[in-house]
């Protein structure tokens, strides 16, 4: 069982976080982009992965490190914007991007606002993915059916997208995908 403390200003694990957690199959070297509380990284560290975590929010880095300490695992967490400041190749990479198709720009909205089409952060992630994902590696992401997922998949035809799992709510279905290099 994982114990999680949530700091003010840090995205609290929600349905999308748990969907990602249920979908990830971690390899030896694991990277979590947008780690928030560190829930997914901590889970992967508990299964034996060497874990690195990145977030643009300094409070998230502090929160992730504290949660790793509470759970007695090692996670190397540091400040960064998606792949900026990340070196190396990883067997598994996970990202729960801000995916809602809204252009909110107030403090904290970066946690859910994916821009007009919902893919602004996701595109940055997918652009950098081939540089950091091992040849036989897998990335896991969460997307919303409030966006045009099919157009994103066509745009990134150099990558393979396989639906892993989904959860449906009153107004939305969120879907986890395994993404591989072709």
Domains belonging to the chain, first-starting first, are: 15-181 (3.40.50.150)
Can you name the residues that pair with 64 across neighbouring β-strands? Answer: none
Q: What is the pLDDT of residue 102?
A: 58
- % of the chain beyond a pLDDT of 90: 82
Contacts of 88 (CB under 8 A, 6+ apart): 29, 31, 52, 132
C-alpha to C-alpha distance for 170 and 42, rounded to whole angstroms: 30
Q: What is the band of 142 on the pLDDT scale with cuts at 50, 70, 90?
A: very high
Q: Mean pLDDT across the stretch 13-42?
A: 97
Tens-digit pLDDT profile for residues 72-128 = 999 999 999 999 989 999 999 999 998 665 565 645 545 544 557 768 899 999 999
C-alpha to C-alpha distance for 77 and 162, rounded to whole angstroms: 28
Q: Is the pLDDT of residue 129 over 50?
A: yes
pTM: 0.92
Q: What is the band of 137 on the pLDDT scale with cuts at 50, 70, 90?
A: very high
SS3 174: strand
């Amino acid at each position: 069982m994982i114990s999680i403390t949530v700091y003010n200003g840090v995205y609290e694990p929600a349905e999308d976080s748990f969907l990602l957690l249920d979908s990830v199959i971690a390899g030896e070297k694991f990277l979590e982009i947008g780690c928030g509380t560190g829930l997914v990284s901590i889970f992967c560290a508990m299964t034996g992965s060497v874990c690195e975590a990145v977030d643009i929010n300094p409070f998230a880095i502090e929160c992730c490190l504290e949660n790793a300490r509470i759970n007695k695992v090692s996670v190397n967490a540091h400040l960064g914007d998606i792949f900026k400041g990340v070196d190396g190749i990883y067997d598994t990479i996970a990202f729960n991007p801000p995916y809602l198709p809204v252009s909110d720009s107030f403090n904290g909205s970066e946690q859910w606002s994916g821009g007009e089409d919902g893919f602004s952060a996701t595109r940055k992630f997918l652009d950098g993915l081939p540089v950091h994902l091992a040849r036989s590696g897998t990335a896991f992401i969460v997307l919303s059916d409030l966006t045009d997922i099919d157009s994103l998949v066509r745009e990134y035809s150099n990558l393979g997208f396989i639906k892993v799992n989904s959860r449906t709510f009153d107004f939305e279905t969120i879907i986890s995908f395994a993404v591989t290099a072709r």
